[in-house]
Amino acid sequence: MLLLSAFVSAALASQANAAAFAGSTSTFQFPPADVTATASDIASLFPDASEVGFPGPTPTGDEAESIATAPAVPKVQSFYPLIRPETSDNKGIEYNVIDSWANLSPMQSVASFGLDGSSEAIPEGCNINQVFLLHRHGARYPTSGSSPATFAATLHDAAGNGTLNATGPLSFLNNWTYKLGAEILTPFGREQMFDLGVGFRVKYGDLLKNFTGLPVWRTTSEERMVDSALHFAAGFFGVQSYQDSYYQLIEIEEDGFNNTLAPYDDCANANNEIADLGTNATIAWNEVYLADALERFSADLPGMNLTIADVSGMQTICPYETVALGYSAFCDLFTEEEWRGFAYGIDLTFWYTDGPGNPAVSAQGIGWVTELVSRLTQTRLTTSNSAINASIVSSEDLFPLNQPIFVDASHDTVISSILTSMNFTSLAAGGPLPTDHIPAFQTYKVREIAPFGSTLVGQVLSCPASDTPTHIRWLLNDAVLPQTGIQGCEFDKDGLCELDTFIAGMQQRIEEVDFDFDCFANYTFSLANDTITTGQFPQ
Q: Helices 291-300 and 308-325 sit at what angle, rounded to 10 degrees?
A: 80
Among residues 82, 180, 93, 194, the alpha carbon closest in space to that of 138 is found at 194
User: Which pLDDT does position 35 carry in this prediction?
Assistant: 66
Return the pLDDT at 38: 61
CA-CA distances (angstroms) from residue 103 to 155, 412, 452, 481? 26, 7, 6, 19
Does pTM top 0.85 for this prediction? Answer: yes
Whether the Cβ atoms of residue 478 and residue 451 lie closer than 8 Å to each other: no
438 in Cβ contact with 340 (< 8 Å): yes
The whole-number mean pLDDT for each consecutive block of 10 residues of the chain, a chain of 539 residues, reads: 34 43 81 67 85 90 92 90 89 84 98 94 96 98 94 93 93 95 97 98 97 97 98 97 96 97 97 96 98 97 94 98 97 96 98 98 98 98 93 97 98 98 97 96 97 98 96 98 97 97 98 97 90 93
Pairing of strands 216-220, 247-251: parallel
Tell me whether residue 504 is exposed, middle or buried, using C-beta atoms within 10 angstroms of its C-beta: 0 to 12, 13 to 18, 19 or more: middle
Name the H helices within 205-335: 223-237, 277-289, 291-300, 308-325
For 379-402, b/e burial (b = at least 16 CB within 10 A) is eebeebebbbbeebbeeeeebbbe
CATH match for 78-525 among 3.40.50.1240, 3.100.10.10, 3.80.10.10, 3.40.190.10? 3.40.50.1240
Q: What pLDDT score does 18 carry?
A: 45
Residues near 61 by Cβ (< 8 Å), separated by ≥ 6? none
| Confidence (pLDDT) at 36 | 61
Q: What are the residue boundaries of the structural domains of the chain, listed by start?
A: 78-525
Nearest CA-CA partner of 378 in 505, 247, 499? 499
307-336 per-residue burial string, b: 16 or more CB within 10 A, e: under 16 = ebbbbbbbbbbbbbbbbbeeebebbbbbbb
CA dist., res. 48 & res. 54, Å (int):
12
Number of H helices and E strands in the chain, helices first, is 17, 8
Quick check: 39 and 31 in contact, CB under 8 A? yes
Rounded to 10°, the helix 187-204/308-325 angle is 60
Res 350: pLDDT: 98
Burial class (CB in 10 A: 0-12, 13-18, 19+), 8: exposed
